[in-house]
Amino acid sequence: MSPLLFDCGRNFADFIETYEYAQTMPWLADVARLERAWLDAYHAADANHLDPGALAAIAPEQTGDIFIPSLQSEPFRTTSPSRTAQELHLSDGATQETPLEDRILVLCIVIGLSWRDFCAMWHPAKAVLPWAAIRMTAASALFLAAVGLAFSVTDLRMGLATTGLGAVIALLAGERVGSDTALITATLGFAVYIAGMAS
What burial letters (b/e) apply to 115-152, b meaning 16+ CB within 10 Å? bbbbebbeeeeeeeeeebeebbeebbebbebbbebbee
pLDDT value, residue 181? 86
pLDDT value, residue 199? 57
Q: Are 33 and 87 in contact (CB under 8 A)?
A: no
pLDDT value, residue 25? 78
Q: Three-class SS string for 143-190? A: HHHHHHHHHHCCCHHHHHHHHHHHHHHHHHHCCCCCHHHHHHHHHHHH
Q: Are 198 and 98 in contact (CB under 8 A)?
A: no
pLDDT value, residue 76? 61
* Cα dihedral: 37, 38, 42, 48 (round 10): 50
C-alpha angle 87-92-98 in degrees, rounded to nearest 5? 90
- The helix (H) or strand (E) run that includes residue 41 is helix 28-43
The pTM for the full model equals 0.46
pLDDT value, residue 28? 79
pLDDT tens for each residue of 103-153: 788 888 888 888 888 888 777 666 677 888 888 888 888 898 888 888 887
Q: Are 150 and 78 in contact (CB under 8 A)?
A: no
Low-confidence ranges of the chain (pLDDT < 70): 1-6, 47, 64-101, 124-127, 197-199
